Amino acid sequence: MPVTRVAAIDCGTNSIRLLVADVDPAAGTLVDLERSNEVVRLGQGVDRTGLLAPEALERTLAAARRYRATCEELGVEAVRFVATSATRDARNRDEFVAGVRDALGVDPEVVAGDEEARLSFRGATGVLASRFDGPFLVVDLGGGSTELVLGTGAPEAAVSMDVGSVRLTERHLHDDPPTAAQTAAADADVRAALDAAAAVVPLGRTVTLVGLAGSVTTLTAHALGLDRYDRDRIDGAVLRVDDVLVACEDMLARTREQRAALPYLHPGRVDVIGAGALVWREVVRRVRADVAAAGGELTQVVTSEHDILDGIAWSIAER
């Protein structure tokens, strides 16, 4: 099977991202040519209205048009555009589908949570499987949803929870910083979601906990005390569980002004990173507790910069 130059596009609740890569399934290699990320907040207001806002649609489609130019410039052979939580939830998603088709020349796939989870697992473990022991619990913490996938060579159990950084910010975290009552309400949502998730995914079997996506990578930079966002230092970083929890607590307690001053925090994430920290804190706490209840010990957390984008790229080439 020859090398294929592919473009993977992941359109989530908060951001739209592009990966152009040369993929060789026979050799098991994926070589980046371009990675881009734009915060477009497609999910703005979806939790409240059930609709994609016109201005959010336009921001997203403008980014799609820029991505089309990049794909043409780099000679991409095949494109797959995957849309996730916000688009699944929106009643006017047909308008989004038609807009993407016009802007990019491909039909977007509005994937279900289990397919999103499978792609995230493939992207993350393709790199980490040779360095860490399974089973892996891969956690993809997005703006509208959070996917949990357990497996070793392939996913064995997966669930998508309707909790994410944008959704919980809009639903609960209205003050700066959030009040104790607001935080408690958000915590209750996440814990209820985790209770339901644990009935599907046996969290106590986790040997290696892997966190993906912008909230987790930003919190990793926070825990490492970086002076800028450094993808190479964040990718594959191994942190003690206690250090992750401290970083989450600190981020959640900060004001917007204090968060905005952090050199590694994307401006488009400033207003939602507190909710991301809250979700990640509760996930890590719950997994540690369930592993302990099963007779094991979870002492560390791994961060991966390889995620659903890589999974989408692999899926194109393996087709």
Q: What is the pLDDT of residue 240?
A: 97
pLDDT confidence tier of residue 124, bands split at 50, 70 and 90: confident
Q: Of the candidates 318, 319, 314, which has an alpha carbon nearest to the alpha carbon of residue 21?
A: 314
As given in the structure block, the two tokens for residue 120 are 């995230």
| Mean pLDDT confidence for 279-303 | 96
**Residue 55 Rama label (left phi>0; alpha psi -120 to 50; beta):** alpha
Tokens 């984008």, residue?
309
- Percentage of the chain lying above the pLDDT 90 cut: 58
Tokens of 167: 């959704």
39 — pLDDT class (breaks 50, 70, 90): confident
Instruction: State the average pLDDT for the chain.
Output: 90
Residue closest to 139 by CA, chosen among 302, 249, 288 = 302
Mean pLDDT over residues 215-226, rounded?
A: 95
* Annotated domain spans of the chain: 4-111, 127-303
Residue 86 pLDDT > 60: yes
Query: What is the arithmetic mean of pLDDT over 215-230?
Result: 95
The pLDDT assigned to 85 comes to 64
Task: For residue 149, list its beta bridge partners.
Answer: 138, 158
- Summarize the confidence of residues 25-32 as an average pLDDT: 83
Mean pLDDT to the nearest integer, 120-126 = 85
pLDDT at 143: 83
State the average pLDDT over residues 292-299.
96
114 or 179, greater pLDDT: 179
Find the mean pLDDT for residues 235-245.
Answer: 95
Question: Residue 87 — pLDDT band, cuts 50, 70, 90?
Answer: confident
pLDDT at 1 over 60: no
Give the C-alpha separation, 183 to 254, whole Å: 13
pLDDT at 3 over 80: no
Residue 277 has pLDDT above 70, yes or no: yes
pLDDT tops 90 at residue 78: yes
Q: Is the pLDDT score of 114 beyond 80?
A: no
CATH class of 4-111: alpha beta
Of 122, 154, 117, 156, nearest to 139 by C-alpha is 117
Mean pLDDT along residues 140-169 = 88
Radius of gyration of the chain (CA): 18
- How far is Cα 174 from Cα 177, in angstroms, rounded to an integer? 8
pLDDT band with cut points at 50, 70 and 90 for residue 131: confident
Q: Do domains 4-111 and 127-303 have the same CATH topology?
A: yes
Q: Please determine, for residue 176, whether its predicted confidence score (pLDDT) is greater than 80.
A: yes
Percent of the chain with pLDDT over 70: 98
pLDDT value, residue 209: 97
pLDDT at 129 over 80: no
Beta carbons of 137 and 208 less than 8 angstroms apart: yes
Residue 93 has pLDDT above 80, yes or no: yes
CATH 3.30.43.10 for domain 127-303, yes or no, is no
Phi, psi of 119 (to 5 degrees): -65, -40
Q: Which residues are CB-neighbours of 169 under 8 A, at least 6 positions away?
A: 271, 272, 274, 275
Residue 88 in this model has a pLDDT that exceeds 80: no
In a 10 Å sphere around its CB, with 0-12 CB exposed, 13-18 middle and 19+ buried, how is residue 24 labelled?
Answer: middle
| DSSP for the chain, written as a single string | ---EEEEEEEE-SSEEEEEEEEEETTTTEEEEEEEEEEE--TTTTHHHHSS--HHHHHHHHHHHHHHHHHHHHHT-SEEEEEE-HHHHH-TTHHHHHHHHHHHHSS--EE--HHHHHHHHHHHHHHHHTTTS-S-EEEEEE-SS-EEEEEESSSEEEEEEES--HHHHHHHT--SSSPPHHHHHHHHHHHHHHHHHHHTTS-GGG-SEEEEESHHHHHHHHHHHT-SS--HHHHTT-EEEHHHHHHHHHHHHHS-HHHHHT-TTS-GGGTTTHHHHHHHHHHHHHHHHHHHHHTT----EEEE-S--HHHHHHHHHHH-
pTM over 0.85: no
